[in-house]
Each structure stands twice: as C-alpha cells, then as structure tokens.
Amino acid sequence: MKGTPDELCRVMGHRFVSLIVPVIITIVSVVWSCTYLSPLYLDGSDSTIHLVFNESGSSSIVDKAGASILNALVIIGVIVLLTFIILALYKCNCGFVLYAWLMFSAASTFFLQAWLWVDLVFSLFQIPCDFVTMGIFILNFGVVGVLSLFYYSHPMLAQFYLIVVSVLIAWLLTAVPEWTTWCLLLGLAVYDIVAVLCPGGPLKMLIDSANARNEPIPGFVYDSANTVAVAVERPSRGAADGNGDASTSPLLRTLRNSTPFKLGLGDFIFYGLLVGRASFSGFVTWTFCLVAILSGMVGTLTILFLYKDSLRALPALPFSIFIGTGFFLLCLWGATVLESYVIKFTLVL
C-alpha cells in the first residue's frame, strides 16, 4: 500500500504533463513569432485583418469598445454557424464532407501559412533561399503533415503537426485588433460553457452523438493516449510480485482504465492567441498570462477527473481565459501605477 500514493501521483502527473507540455510549446512558439516575426509581418501597422467594424478608426473608448464587441459577436456568430453545420453533417453521415473540409484547412495551413512563416524566419536571420527550394521544402512539409493527420503516422509526428497548426493560426490571429481580440476571447469562453454544458449545446450534442456511435469526434483533437500508455504500461512493484490487484487502490485502477485527456485544437489556438496578444505588452505580462493559462488547465483537468462519472466533457477555455484576462488587466494596472510612481520620483529628484 505504500507505493500506491506514489504511483497515483506518477500516473496523474503523466496525464497532466502530456497536455501541459504541448500547450507550453505552442504558447512559447507563438510568443517568439509575435516578438520577432510580427514586426516584419505587420510592417508598422496595428492590424492586417479587416473586420466588419473599424476599431482603430474609433476615437473614444466607448466607440472602440462598441466596435470591438460587435466584431467579436460577428466572429462568434460565424463559429456557431460552422459548429451547427458540422453537427448536421455528422448526424447525416456526411463524414467524407467533414474530412474533406478538415483536409483542405490543414493543407492551406501547411502550404500557405507555413510558407509565410518560414519566409519571415529566413528574412529575420537573412538566410538566402530561392523560390524553387522553398517550394520543394513546403511541398514535402505539407504533404507529410496531411498524411500524418489523415492517414497514418507515428503519434508523436501527428502531435507535432497539430502543434504546428496551432502555432501558425494563433500567430496569424494576433493580427486582429487588440480590443476585438480580448472581446473575442471572453465571448468564446462564455460560448464554450454554453456549447459544452447546456443540453442543447452544439458541442454537447456532437460529443453525445460520437459517444453513441463509439466513434472519435470529427475534428483536430490532441490526444495524450500515446504518452499516457507509455507511462502506465510499466508494471508496479506489487504487480511484479503477483499481487498487484491487492495493492492497487480503486482510484488508481480507475485512473488507469479511464480514457486519456483530450484537448481540442481550438483550445491550443486561443491559449496561444491570449498569451501572444499579451506579449505585445512586455515579458512580465505574457509570463503571468502563461501561468494563468496553465493554472486554469490544471483546474479544469482536475475537475474533469474528480467528476468524470457525471461530466463526459468539460470546456477547457473558461477558467484559463478568465484567469488569463484578469492577470493581463492586473499587470497593466500594476505597470500604470508603477510608471506614475517612477515619474513622481524622477520629478522629485
């Protein structure tokens, strides 16, 4: 019985780390891209994405807030519409349409957005490269990525390409105007709660339909099964002695037999978007936001494990987005207060 708590912590730790590590890699990559590539990509402008309402053209805070809220509502409305379309296609057994849609999205990311990212990296480090060489590299990179996600590959290779998709999309979304970005993140956190937990929520209905058919959820989902399987398959000392069942607690057996944690690619993207947007305000701000994101993730995973019998799925955005936004505002307020004290101290001197 002495080894049971240690093994429980080890298995639980592997489950958490199997998702926390790729999230950290995604966020740090997005922050690096925002720090070094965004100045080349934006070329001095605040945003390269044109939305329905012009936030930068508003002079007063009220007008800017109103424009950003309306922009966020339009984007969320499009996301809701697409979610219901996916649900309808899945219920109508039109899986080939969904996979064609996902394949087109992945291919456009690997071939177009990756080309832009690599070109900016070469420009940053002044690496000479001709058009043909770049085309061959991107072609091979994209083909391998599509095959690894939709056909067959080693799980770690598929996880690598999922992280690449998250980094590229999150980095490009940082070009959205600042106020619209924060309104969008808060709105998506609220929508995530409704879509996953409410009885008529589209994501809840999609998850229930997939469970009823015993099929995977259609979409890009980061699955930690490979990492967890490697961690759990190693026998404990009690099992080696032939009395593993007697020395294993029911909680540990339940944890071993339960399904691995899964995180949608959208969660990776919006985690990276939040911290990437915060990185424009300085190192301290994005570091605190990163800690907030991870704290929200751990809290969400803990609740999901403790209430796994009553909760089949739990929205991953709300805790992390709300805590991260709060830390961002707190850092801005602290920087403003500190700046005022420094100015007063300088004037006194």
Spot the catalytic one: 46, 63, 119, 267: 267
Closest CA to 69 of 301, 221, 61: 61
Distance (Å) of CA 5 to CA 69, 225, 318: 48, 22, 31
Sequence letter at residue 73: L
Active site (annotated) includes residue 267? yes
Report strand pairing: 262-264 vs 221-223.
Answer: antiparallel
Spot the catalytic one: 63, 119, 192, 241: 192
3-state DSSP assignment of residue 151? coil
Sequence letter at residue 178: E
How many Å apart are CA 55 and CA 43, to the nearest integer? 19
Closest CA to 3 of 239, 231, 233, 259: 239
Active site (annotated) includes residue 130? no
Residue 186 has, within 13 A of its CA and on its CB side, a CA count of: 16
Q: Which residues are catalytic?
A: 192, 267
